[in-house]
Structure 1
């Protein structure tokens, strides 16, 4: 399954988290990776066991952590799984209706994590998006700062 990279992450929220977390950002993104891998595995195991109760906490954890980094589609997917699981716990039912969502979860998590880590890597060359602002260090800025009128 392939997701649109531009729609997997709200880059405004990502930038805000990066700014707020400062020097701890990369470390916390690493925790997201570790926790996310565990959460996805736990969700898949709970689904195989048809255990709605075991779906709730890892889905809830993944939802919150994903949204912290602007990974809204991943957070929404985890929230849908959590909601179905909670409803099934109350109804004493199996979470069969979450199966399709659980199948989508791992590819969404992996593609999202790849984007987040690529953007967080200080060694990656950043290029402005096509049609975006073209200014930046080393780029010509006609009529701008440092130019005699």
Structure 2
């Protein structure tokens, strides 16, 4: 669970958030997964319509939520999209130069969620198998 230079996930932040939330972490991460997917779709749709105003809020929320869970790469990409959309709103121009970023958004969400799932699977405790009681299910001889 290292930090890694080009890591999609900041595992230190992930671990801190997990410790802070405690037993409800998996449930809350599930809410993040559902919400993040909706935000990505909203950003994509707003971009297709060249509607900078409608891009700002979902990009902003995706940024904040992702960074809180350690989704560093996704959070930074959403931040870039948010700031670009805000500049377009201020200059009253269409967001025309974000093709590469919008194309990366969905695959990066999928990759981030896959990393989260791998970590949760890896860190789940393996149930200990207790040896069978003497004589139980075995022929005594």
Report the TM range for the smaller structure's normalisation: 0.7 to 0.9
> Which one has a bigger Cα radius of gyration?
2
Give the corresponding residue for 2:132.
Answer: none
C-alpha distance in 2, partners of 1:42/1:8? 22
C-alpha distance in 2, partners of 1:114/1:96? 30
Give the corresponding residue for 2:90.
Answer: 90
C-alpha distance in 2, partners of 1:36/1:108? 11
Alignment of 1:114-129 (within 5 A): 114-121=114-121
Q: How far is the alpha carbon of 1:118 from its aligned partner?
A: 2.2
C-alpha distance in 1, partners of 2:77/2:115? 17
Give the corresponding residue for 1:77.
Answer: 77
TM-score by length of 2: 0.81
TM-score by length of 1: 0.77
Structure 1 stretches of at least 4 aligned residues deviating more than 6 Å after TM superposition? none
C-alpha distance in 2, partners of 1:114/1:90? 36
Q: How far is the alpha carbon of 1:120 from its aligned partner?
A: 2.0
Residues 43 and 58 in structure 1, CA contact (< 8 A), matched pair in contact too: yes
* Structure 2: runs of 5 or more not aligned: 127-141
Residues 50 and 94 in structure 1, CA contact (< 8 A), matched pair in contact too: yes
C-alpha distance in 2, partners of 1:15/1:33? 17
* Structure 1: runs of 5 or more not aligned: 127-149
C-alpha distance in 1, partners of 2:58/2:117? 21
C-alpha distance in 2, partners of 1:24/1:124? 14
- Measured on the aligned residues, the alpha-carbon RMSD in Å equals 2.1
